[in-house]
Amino acid sequence: MSKCLLCKSNFKRQINYEIIFSFVKSKEKYACSDCLQKFVKKKGIVCSGCNKEINKKGLCSDCIKWQQKYAGNILDNKAIYQYNEAFHDLMVQYKRYGDYVLSYVLAELVNSLPKADYYVPIPSSPSHLRKRGFETIASIYQKFVPLTDLLVKAETEKAQGEKNRQERLLTKQTFSAIRNKNVRGKILLLDDIYTTGRTLYHARDAVLEAYPNCKINSFTISR
């Protein structure tokens, strides 16, 4: 028997062949099937830029704005899950209350990633890192891929999660890239949620400035 990290009930582990044959090293299941089924994978038509669920093929309104701002060079973001109540609650528990064990549930939800030469997590600000004692994004993804720390985040007055949409979009660049690393090829930026895209576009700007020949895409658990 295992204890579900989300509802705390005891549950019997099922043999999951998907996990056995994927590159996830973990043999454990951290949440019961009742809890896991509340996380809904994206289905139907999604935006070709960021994977938001939309009504007709093409780009969502956010990506159209990024397309204008970045002269057509939009970020190719892959996202797996709908941003629903279950996902929202999980992220509040994980990030606001710094509940580290939930990184295992999040890793279980991700299960596999698009192929890249370098996996670069979005870092926390110094004050958030001090408060929680761990990097929220790296803690999820380091469970199944080797990570490359390329980004540094400067201190901000307000966290992205505390801002409204307009404030998010007006956020100034807070990332800088660590230079002089021998990095080339395909980089995948890793984050938890794609909200407006502001964070990931800033991260891409910083990495591209230091490594202009790299191809940069991104991955988020939810959009």
90 is an interface residue for Zn ion by CB under 5 A: no
Query: Under DSSP, is residue 80 helix (H, G, I), strand (E, B) or coil?
Result: strand
- Check if the beta carbon of residue 42 is closer than 8 Å to that of residue 51: yes
Given the complex with Zn ion, which of 60 and 116 has the nearer CB atom? 60
47 is an interface residue for Zn ion by CB under 5 A: yes
4 is an interface residue for Zn ion by CB under 5 A: yes
Given the complex with Zn ion, which of 60 and 137 has the nearer CB atom? 60
- Check if the beta carbon of residue 77 is closer than 8 Å to that of residue 46: no
Residue 113 Cβ vs Zn ion, minimum distance, rounded to whole Å:
20
Given the complex with Zn ion, which of 111 and 176 has the nearer CB atom? 111
200 is an interface residue for Zn ion by CB under 5 A: no
Helical ranges in the chain per DSSP H? 17-21, 33-36, 61-69, 85-91, 102-110, 126-132, 136-141, 165-169, 198-210
102 is an interface residue for Zn ion by CB under 5 A: no
Binding part of the chain for Zn ion, among 31-39, 84-92, 129-137, 177-185 by CB under 5 A, reads: 31-39
- Check if the beta carbon of residue 187 is closer than 8 Å to that of residue 158: no
74 is an interface residue for Zn ion by CB under 5 A: no
In the list 19, 50, 80, 216, the residue contacting Zn ion (rule: CB under 5 A) is: 50
- Check if the beta carbon of residue 223 is closer than 8 Å to that of residue 193: yes
- Check if the beta carbon of residue 104 is closer than 8 Å to that of residue 28: yes
Contact residues for Zn ion (CB under 5 A)? Answer: 4, 6-7, 32, 35, 47, 49-50, 52, 60, 63
